[in-house]
Amino acid sequence: MGRAAAPARGVEAAAAGAGSVVELTDLTVRFPRREQEALRDVSLQIAAGEQVVVLGASGSGKSTILHAVTGVVPHTVAAAVAGQVTVAGSATGETSVVERSRHLGVLAQDPSAAVCLPVVEQEIALPLENRGTDPAHIGGRIASALDSVGATGLRDLPTAHLSGGECQRVALAAALVAEPEVLLLDEPTSMLDPEGVAAVRDAVRSAVTRYRPAVILVEHRLDEWAGAEGVAGLPERVVVLVDGQVVADGPTSLVLQDQAAALRAAGCWLPLDAELGSLTGAQGGLASPANRALLHTLGRPTGTRSRPATGRPLLEASGLAVGRAPAPGRGGRRVDRRSAALLSGVDLTLREGEVVAVLGANGVGKSTLLLTLAGLLTPVAGRVLGDRPGLVFQNAEHQFLASTVEGEIAHGLTSDVTDARVLEQLRRHRLEHLVGQNPFRLSGGEQRRLSLAAMLAHPRPVLLTDEPTLGLDRRDAIATARTLRETADGGGAVLLVSHDLRLVAGLADRVVVLGDGAVLADGPTERVLADPVVLARASLTLPPLVSWLVANLPGRVAHVLQGLDATVTGRADGVA
Do residues 317 and 491 touch, judged by C-beta distance below 8 A? no
Half-sphere exposure of 452 (CA within 13 A, CB side): 30
- Is position 183 an interface residue for another protein (rule: CB under 8 A)? no
Can you say whether residue 443 is alpha, beta or left, with left for phi > 0 and alpha for psi between -120 and 50 degrees? beta
Residue 91, φ and ψ in degrees, nearest 5: -85, 150
**Partners of 316 in the β-ladder:** 349, 385
Please report how close the Cβ of residue 26 comes to another protein at its closest, in angstroms: 25
Contacts of 260 (CB under 8 A, 6+ apart): 270, 274, 275, 277, 278
CA pair distance 438, 506, nearest whole angstrom: 33
Q: How many residues bind another protein (CB under 8 A)?
A: 65
Out of 246, 391, 410, 540, the residue judged to bind another protein by CB under 8 A: 391
- Is position 175 an interface residue for another protein (rule: CB under 8 A)? yes
Total Cβ atoms within 10 A of residue 219 = 23
CA pair distance 286, 275, nearest whole angstrom: 11
User: Counting Cβ atoms within 10 Å, is residue 405 exposed (0-12), middle (13-18) or buried (19+)?
Assistant: buried
- Is position 376 an interface residue for another protein (rule: CB under 8 A)? yes
Please report how close the Cβ of residue 173 comes to another protein at its closest, in angstroms: 11
Nearer of residues 417 and 551 to another protein, judged by Cβ: 417
Please report how close the Cβ of residue 84 comes to another protein at its closest, in angstroms: 21
Out of 83, 233, 375, 386, the residue judged to bind another protein by CB under 8 A: 375
- Considering only the stretches 112-120, 243-251, 255-263, 302-310, report the one whose residues sit in contact with another protein under the rule CB under 8 A: 112-120
- Is position 157 an interface residue for another protein (rule: CB under 8 A)? no
**Partners of 51 in the β-ladder:** 215
Please report how close the Cβ of residue 306 comes to another protein at its closest, in angstroms: 33
CA pair distance 41, 19, nearest whole angstrom: 20
CA pair distance 548, 408, nearest whole angstrom: 43
Pairing relationship of beta strands 80-87 and 90-91 according to DSSP bridges: antiparallel
Nearer of residues 102 and 210 to another protein, judged by Cβ: 102
Within its chain, how far is the Cα of 447 from the centroid?
Answer: 14
Out of 4, 15, 327, 536, the residue judged to bind another protein by CB under 8 A: 327
Of the candidates 29, 135, 23, the one whose C-alpha atom is nearest the C-alpha of residue 79 is 29
- Is position 385 an interface residue for another protein (rule: CB under 8 A)? no
- Is position 318 an interface residue for another protein (rule: CB under 8 A)? no
Out of 116, 232, 340, 576, the residue judged to bind another protein by CB under 8 A: 116
Residues 400-439 that bind another protein (CB under 8 A): 400-401, 411-412
Out of 36, 43, 112, 310, the residue judged to bind another protein by CB under 8 A: 112
Please report how close the Cβ of residue 326 comes to another protein at its closest, in angstroms: 8
Nearer of residues 264 and 366 to another protein, judged by Cβ: 366
Please report how close the Cβ of residue 132 comes to another protein at its closest, in angstroms: 5
Within its chain, how far is the Cα of 434 from the centroid?
Answer: 23
Residues 53-82 that bind another protein (CB under 8 A): 70, 72, 76
Out of 455, 470, 501, 560, the residue judged to bind another protein by CB under 8 A: 455
- Is position 99 an interface residue for another protein (rule: CB under 8 A)? yes
Q: Distances in Å between the alpha carbon of 221 and those of 68, 188, 191, 218, 284?
A: 23, 10, 11, 10, 19
- Is position 110 an interface residue for another protein (rule: CB under 8 A)? yes
- Considering only the stretches 38-46, 79-87, 135-143, 224-232, report the one whose residues sit in contact with another protein under the rule CB under 8 A: 135-143
Site residues, another protein (CB under 8 A) = 70, 72, 76, 97-99, 101-102, 104-106, 108, 110, 112-119, 122, 125-135, 138-139, 159-160, 171, 174-175, 178, 327-330, 371, 374-377, 388, 390-391, 393, 395, 397-401, 411-412, 440, 454-455
